[in-house]
Amino acid sequence: MSGDTIFALGSGQLPAALGVMRISGPAAGFVLERLAGGMPDPRRASLRRLTDPRDGVVLDHALALWFPGPNSATGEDCAELHLHGGRAVAAAVESALAGLGLRKAEPGEFTRRGFANGRLDLAQVEGLADVLAAETELQRRSAQAMAGGVLSRAADTWRSAVLALSAQIEASLDFADEGDVDGEAETLPPGFDDAAAALIATLSEWLDRPRAEPLREGFRVVLAGPPNAGKSSLFNALVESEAAIISAEPGTTRDVLVAGVALGGIPFSFVDTAGLRDEGAGEIEAIGIARARAEAERADLVLWLGPEGLGPTDRPLWEIAAQCDRGGVGKSPSALRVSALNGEGLAALRDALMTAARSALPAPGAVALNRRQAECLGNARAALTAALAERDTLLVAECLRLARRAIDALVGRADTEAMLDTLFGRFCIGK
């Protein structure tokens, strides 16, 4: 990490009641002493008059806090100034800090320093990013569990288990008969197979859990069907907004329209699509139809408003008898009957959607793996499975090394520089 001392406003947009200025780096203590006229006791808020060292002008009366490293959020010496939340106050303090040789932090730089200094691992950083982006209670609780280190502690346990297996193999190699120069053994150490199988089962249980993407992006529900089937009307009713244009003219919806809403604290992404038809579509409508088919392929659930049995077959699908107030599309009694016009069946549809989403999303407070984490864990499981299939102890040892490397990548012990640049770019300047 750079030896620079950085600063940034870590609170929300000004003006506000307070503006929290964060400072981190080797000169944090020197700067705090210059501005506040002395050092507060560590981790105790102290009311101080802040002055600009360049001309002695009073900047603000603020609370000053001192967090000596390594026991700080970044692992470095840190300070915080809890200012009055006016733009001019913050600008004056920033000018004074820049005058003392500090530079403004880049997005996510405080958190990145914490990661580099071992205060956070990669899984916790990803959880923190999700905490900042959470919009529903379900998202918040899952993100808090990740940021709190639930996955990190599990990864430490898995790593220790792999190391114990590796130690067994190394001991087997060390004490092999001198004639067994190629490392082959008739059998693996006693208990090895059972221990490896138990670890594989644990990793499989984690990989079978609902994933983070539907939780982060919302349970994706795509409304599909032919033109004038009532898709846009039902879409507007579900999102409780006149987001989609409604017209009796076929082909009114020509593009994909997405709206994110929360139902019962569960995040949803509802998707309105162009009417599906094979004939009579113009060039622009045809593009919309192609996009509609693509959306159906990535849906968590398709609400099919067309003739029964003619909807997509490669995704979970519910038959919807829309426009039931005027007959709608004839469907079997098992189809859900709804009317966007008079509200019939809407409450039942919402309840059914919430029930379906709860089964597909993580339980409240449960950790959900994202794609990167699932890939790392899948690689670890594959390596352990390969180890069980081998009888050559040298090859088993190599499989265990690959498993350990995959677990290290899960929490950021492996080289992940390019991915880190993208991840930390999600954070705001003061984080």
User: What DSSP character marks residue 24?
Assistant: E
Going edge to edge, which strands form the sheet with 317-321? Answer: 257-263, 266-272, 219-224, 301-304, 317-321, 336-337
Q: How far is CA 216 from CA 6, 316, 369, 375, in A?
A: 31, 20, 11, 18
Instruction: Retrieve residue 90's tokens.
Output: 């913050």
Q: How far apart are CA 150 and CA 126, in angstroms?
A: 12
Q: State residue 184's pLDDT score.
A: 46
Q: How far apart are CA 34 and CA 30, in angstroms?
A: 6
Contact in structure between 298 and 316 (CB atoms under 8 Å): no
Q: State residue 181's pLDDT score.
A: 41
SS3 100: coil
SS3 content of the chain, % helix, strand, coil (to 5): 45, 15, 40
* Residues facing 104 on adjacent strands: 7
Angle at the Cα of 269 (from 352 to 143), degrees rounded to 5?
Answer: 95
Q: Give Cβ neighbours of residue 355 (< 8 Å, ≥ 6 apart).
A: none
Instruction: Name the pairing type of β-strands 336-337 and 317-321.
Output: parallel
Q: State residue 31's pLDDT score.
A: 97
Contact in structure between 383 and 403 (CB atoms under 8 Å): yes
Q: How far apart are CA 20 and CA 407, in angstroms?
A: 37
Instruction: Considering only CA atoms, give the Rg of the chain.
Output: 29
Instruction: Name the pairing type of β-strands 301-304 and 317-321.
Output: parallel
> How confident is the prediction along the chain (431 residues), in pLDDT tens digits per residue?
468 999 999 988 899 999 999 999 999 999 999 999 999 999 999 999 999 999 999 999 999 999 999 999 999 999 999 999 999 999 999 999 999 999 999 988 999 999 999 999 999 999 988 888 887 888 888 999 999 999 999 999 999 999 999 988 888 776 655 444 444 445 678 889 999 999 999 999 999 998 888 888 889 999 999 888 888 889 999 988 775 555 444 545 556 889 888 898 889 999 998 888 766 566 777 777 888 888 888 899 999 998 888 888 888 999 998 877 776 557 888 889 998 888 889 999 999 999 999 888 888 888 889 999 999 999 999 999 999 999 888 999 999 999 999 999 999 876 555 445 655 666 666 66
Strands (E), 296-389: 301-304, 317-321, 336-337
Q: Give Cβ neighbours of residue 101 (< 8 Å, ≥ 6 apart).
A: 5, 27
Closest CA to 275 of 260, 299, 296: 296
Q: State residue 361's pLDDT score.
A: 87
Contact in structure between 287 and 270 (CB atoms under 8 Å): no
Q: State residue 183's pLDDT score.
A: 43
Closest CA to 356 of 263, 234, 235: 263
SS3 263: strand
Positive or negative, the Cα torsion across 123, 129, 132, 133? negative
Q: How far apart are CA 227 and CA 329, in angstroms?
A: 12
Q: State residue 339's pLDDT score.
A: 87
User: Cα(first)–Cα(last) distance of the chain, in Å?
Assistant: 16
Closest CA to 396 of 154, 172, 200: 172
What pLDDT digit, counting tens, does each position of 33-87 carry?
A: 999 999 999 999 999 999 999 999 999 999 999 999 999 999 999 999 999 999 9
Long-range contacts, stretch 180-183, CB < 8 angstroms, 24+ apart: 182/392, 182/394, 183/392, 183/393, 183/394, 183/397
Q: How far apart are CA 230 and CA 339, in angstroms?
A: 9
Q: State residue 280's pLDDT score.
A: 59
pTM for this prediction = 0.72
Counts for the chain of helices (H) and strands (E), in that order: 14, 12
Contact in structure between 26 and 6 (CB atoms under 8 Å): no
Contact in structure between 112 and 122 (CB atoms under 8 Å): no
Angle at the Cα of 302 (from 300 to 306), degrees rounded to 5?
Answer: 175
